[in-house]
């Protein structure tokens, strides 16, 4: 029995599909190379504070509401159930994005306040939560308000307190200097003296542009804090750090009254 030969139409379309695949693969290599080159140039040319400002602008330019996940991820649900005080506890959420975590926590009965520096994400977050509950402000504004009494867009006072604080998903990694990360945690500790500080850690899927710093065209510059650094920060704040290596994201909780750090897998 003789096998039927492919039609001319099929052979032409197959050739087009294979050539298209090779072209797309080549374009992806060029794109990755351009991203790496751009990150390396910007990393050498910009100061850390400029990199942080650029990161906000890149996130803002890349933000698409339809790409935002709805509700909490399974690992977040488990984390929050384990570490957050029970509703109706008050929670301050920094770098809240479009309000994904904030709206989910409010549905669970928590009292939520939030701030977010990206204009696009802030507008959506304000529509979701209500403008009275969200400020367009950065972590620099937060530290300035809480630790130095500066006037910023953040409508909080140094005397305000919350039952818990959540640093929005991966946002801790956008604070590039180690000393500034400690300042951010100090400010969080002042507003949450009796409660937990929750943060998730950036998991790089790209190659570092230099040692310890990464660049993406959608989120700008990021670092990946080590667990050793978190332990040192927690000790400085008289807190205990409990870290999780649970897939797909690593996260940490700083709780008052430091004891022996432990790792939960």
pLDDT at site 260 = 44
User: % helix / strand / coil in the chain, to the nearest 5?
Assistant: 50, 15, 35
Residue 207, pLDDT score: 84
Per-residue pLDDT reduced to its tens digit, 158-194: 889 999 999 998 899 999 999 999 999 999 999 999 9
pLDDT (tens, 9 = 90+) of the chain, 265 residues, equals: 556 778 888 989 999 998 999 999 999 898 888 888 999 999 999 999 999 999 999 999 988 776 666 789 888 999 999 999 999 999 999 999 999 999 999 999 999 999 999 999 999 999 999 999 999 999 999 999 999 999 999 999 888 999 999 999 889 999 999 999 999 999 999 999 999 999 988 877 788 888 889 999 989 999 989 889 999 999 999 999 999 876 667 899 999 974 444 443 3
Domains of the chain: 65-264 (3.40.50.150)
Cβ atoms of 173 and 220 closer than 8 Å: no
Q: Distance between CA 32 and CA 39 in Å, rounded?
A: 11
Entry pTM: 0.87
**Count of CB atoms situated within 10 Å of the CB of 23:** 10
Check: CB of residue 230 under 8 Å from CB of residue 237: no
pLDDT digits (tens, 9 = 90+) for 137-166: 999 999 999 999 999 999 998 889 999 999
DSSP the chain: -PPPPPPHHHHHHHHHHHHHHHHHHHHHHHHHHHHHHHHHHHHHHS-HHHHHHHHHHHHHHH--GGGSPPS--HHHHHHHHHHSPPTT-EEEEES-TTSHHHHHHHHTT-EEEEE---HHHHHHHHHHH-GGGEE---HHHHHHHHHH----S----TT---SEEEE-TTGGGG--SHHHHHHHHHHHHHH-SSS-EEEE-----S--SBTTEEEETTTEEEE---HHHHHHHHHHTTEEEEEE--SS--EEEEEES----EEE-
């Amino acid at each position: 029995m003789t096998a039927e030969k492919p039609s001319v139409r099929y052979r032409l379309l197959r050739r087009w599909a294979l050539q298209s695949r090779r072209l797309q693969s080549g374009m992806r290599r060029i794109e990755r190379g351009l991203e790496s080159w751009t990150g390396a140039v910007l990393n050498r040319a910009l100061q850390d504070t400029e990199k942080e400002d650029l990161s906000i602008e890149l996130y803002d330019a890349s933000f698409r509401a339809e790409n935002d996940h709805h509700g909490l991820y399974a690992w977040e649900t488990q984390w929050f159930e384990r570490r957050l005080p029970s509703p109706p506890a008050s929670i301050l959420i920094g770098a809240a994005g479009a309000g994904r975590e904030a709206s989910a926590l409010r549905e669970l009965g928590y009292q939520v306040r939030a701030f977010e520096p990206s204009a696009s994400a802030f507008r959506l977050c304000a529509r979701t939560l209500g403008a009275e509950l969200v400020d367009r402000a950065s972590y620099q504004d937060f530290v300035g308000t809480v630790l130095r009494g500066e006037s910023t867009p953040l409508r909080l006072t140094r005397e305000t307190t919350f039952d818990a604080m959540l640093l929005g998903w991966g946002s801790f990694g956008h604070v590039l200097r180690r000393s500034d990360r400690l300042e951010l945690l100090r400010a969080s500790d002042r507003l949450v003296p009796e409660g937990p500080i929750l943060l998730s850690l950036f998991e790089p899927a790209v190659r570092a542009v230099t040692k310890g710093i990464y660049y993406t065209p959608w989120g700008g510059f990021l670092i990946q804090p080590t667990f050793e650094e978190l332990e040192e920060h927690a000790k400085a704040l008289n807190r205990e750090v409990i870290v999780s290596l649970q897939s797909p994201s690593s996260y940490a909780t700083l709780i008052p009254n430091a004891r022996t750090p432990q790792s939960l897998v």
